[in-house]
Amino acid sequence: MSRARSPAGSPEAPAAAGPEITLVAHAGGDHVLGLLARVEDVLRDVVSGHGAALAGHAGSTIAAGGKRLRPLLVILAAGREPDPPDGLVRAAAAVELVHSATLVHDDVLDLAPLRRGRPTVFATAGRRAATQTGDLLFSRAFALLARNGLPAQVRALSDAGSALARGELLQRADAWDAGVSLERYLLRCELKTARLFEAACELGAIAAGDTSGVLREFGRRIGLAFQIFDDVLDVAGPADRTGKHRGTDLLDGTVTLPFILARAADEGLGALDPRSIREPAQAEAVCDRIAATGALEAARRAALEHVGAAKDVVPVGMDARQRRALLLVADSVVARYS
């Protein structure tokens, strides 16, 4: 299949990739954008052929995009392009399929009308269709990865999938609980977000024959920072940027780091019953109170500590382009917030 190319002759970034991801991909080498484009092809192909309705819902979920950060991590963790690259492309696509499946299932649990500014499958087709769509994406991920014939890859992604399920159960158990501890919150972040980032790095390393596990901690730290910044954006980010109202987590009964930090400075927040927050205007008013305590700055500092720790574990002796690209990944997580 022919590839669109930039005037300089290198492959163009997939439409889903944002400017930060494109910068990272260029730093990693000419092969990175080409592999990301191949991942897009696989993602489109793998959800077809399962009936028009289900393929349509799955296809629209994939087309809605996101920055493809997890597939990028798979490719960067592998370093140089393998020959042939098919197995690496499949691993990168599998991670994105699992991620997409969890988003569709989350929308069902949260009764979410929008995702990335677009109507969710749940909103347009109902609970049953959304559940089946998430199941399809999840099952296709493992069918795709199994073709690589590397049990260690299947095990890594399976472990991440199990962690995601456990993290979701913890979040459901914590719903509407204003007293959720910092330790419990961080455990949820570890399970629901960081473990899939960690698995992405592991899949890429395995594809390259690297079993040292040195980049797993990088993925873990990036995942934790990503989730904390995401929770800060829920409180501070404008709807035209985030695709949702400020305080959506509060409306869902999800207590995150900004609230946990703010309640120590505002006794009224500590005594607040999250069930009393029923309207977007009420949630935004609570967001303003959280911001007034300085909790957003404190949460941002916590995320930056994880970014710094991620950078620290990238080996100095690694290939220079690979190392620069990984460091730029860490910076891109901060840029997403800025």
Q: In terms of DSSP bridges, do strands 118-119 and 114-115 run parallel, antiparallel, or are they unpaired?
A: antiparallel
Please report the pLDDT score of residue 61 as a whole number.
Answer: 83
Fold type of domain 19-337: Farnesyl Diphosphate Synthase (1.10.600)
How far apart are the two ends of the chain, measured CA to CA in Å? 37
The proportion of the chain whose per-residue pLDDT surpasses 70, expressed as a percent, equals: 92
pLDDT in tens, 233-285: 999 977 666 667 899 999 989 999 999 999 999 999 989 999 999 999 999 99
Instruction: Report the amino acid identity of residue 102.
Output: T
Q: Which of 56-65, 238-247, 294-303 has the lowest mean pLDDT?
A: 238-247
If phi > 0 it is left, if psi is from -120 to 50 it is alpha, else beta; for residue 149 that is left
* Most confidently modeled range among 56-60, 137-141, 211-215: 137-141
CA–centroid distance for 235 within its chain: 18
Please report the pLDDT score of residue 242 as a whole number.
Answer: 61
Using CA atoms, how far residue 47 sits from 41, 75, 138, in Å, is: 11, 21, 11
Please report the pLDDT score of residue 240 as a whole number.
Answer: 62
User: In the Cβ-directed half-sphere of 316, how many Cα atoms lie within 13 Å?
Assistant: 1
Where does the pLDDT of residue 53 fall: very low under 50, low under 70, confident under 90, or very high at 90 and above?
confident
Mean pLDDT of 117-131: 83
Outline where the chain has alpha helix (H): 19-28, 30-46, 52-63, 69-78, 86-110, 121-125, 127-146, 151-173, 182-189, 195-207, 216-236, 239-242, 248-251, 257-262, 267-270, 280-292, 295-313, 320-337
Please report the pLDDT score of residue 49 as a whole number.
Answer: 78
Please report the pLDDT score of residue 241 as a whole number.
Answer: 62
Where does the pLDDT of residue 8 fall: very low under 50, low under 70, confident under 90, or very high at 90 and above?
very low
Instruction: Report the amino acid identity of residue 264.
Output: A
Q: What is the C-alpha separation between 143 and 35, in angstroms, rounded? A: 20
SS (H, E, C) 76-95: HHHCCCCCCCHHHHHHHHHH
